[in-house]
Amino acid sequence: MSRTWFITGASSGFGRLLTERLLARGDRVAATARRPETLADLGKEHGDRLWTASLDVTDIPAMRRAVDRAFRELGRIDVVASNAGYGLFGAAEELGDEQIGSLIETNLIGSIQLIRAVIPHLRNQGGGRILQVSSEGGQMAYPGFSLYHASKWGIEGFVEAVRQEVAPFGITFTLVEPGPTQTNFAAGLVTAEPAPAYEKTPVGNLRRAWADGSFTAKGDPAKMVEAMIASAETENGPLRLTFGATAYASIGNALRGRLAELEGQRDAALSMDLDG
């Protein structure tokens, strides 16, 4: 049975691949992007099964109008894929105020506002799935990506809470956590002006690894997209999907480290309640 998807950031990366795979298998896709004309080739091939709209997730009133129009014109939408976002690299001290504001507006506030915009529609139709593209960086951290991690840790906390609020309405969530993947993430990466003080620090080391190609991305985006689609068809799938050996290792190490630290403080933590 064909399904209907709503996708943000559909012009490239995971969004483009998702759109291509879904159309190829006969689904309908409401594909949105800042430049929807980049999807014209898919429109010629798939006709009215592709619905497009210009959408900038930082323009919240326009985003709400696009969401409302998609549900009005397409009827039921089964899956909403919140995919729009980009990376920002630089030591926290190196980042500009405008760079910080733009990233948080896009990756965090834009994702939050998209979810808020679609919830009433999903609730009224009796349920649906929201697939939020996060990152391994939603549970661990690399030096130099502090603001990117802030956005991903932030959206994961938001989803953890909201999924409990909307579960009675049949609305479910999936957080997608890919590790380094062969998409165009690096091409869209915004970088801060390097400060000499950070040349011989972990930030400088990672900056050189990006420049000389020694930081490798082994993840296969095509496999990941197929797994996203499969997960959206399961009724009780996991909240989080971890993609790639790098993500599996890095998230596992981070979780084990936090758990060990928590257990090391057990007696002190338990002693902090009121006596009696």
Active-site residue set: 134, 148, 152
Cβ proximity of 220 and 247 under 8 Å? no
CA 154 – CA 145 distance, rounded (Å): 14
Cβ-Cβ contacts under 8 Å for 213 (sequence gap 6 or more): none
Determine the Cα angle at 115 with ends 227 and 234, to 5°.
30
Distance CA 139, CA 179 (A): 11
Which residues are within 8 A (CB) of 169 and not within 5 positions of it... i.e. 6 or more apart?
122, 123, 126, 127
Looking from the CA of 54 toward its CB, the CA atoms found within 13 Å total 6
Query: For the purposes of burial, counting CB atoms within 10 Å of the CB of 80, is it exposed (0-12), middle (13-18) or buried (19 or more)?
Result: buried
How is residue 225 written in tokens? Answer: 């997209």
Cβ-contact 111, 85 below 8 angstroms? yes
In terms of Cα–Cα distance, which of 86, 66, 169 is closest to 135? Answer: 86
Q: What are phi and psi of 106, to 5 degrees?
A: -80, -60
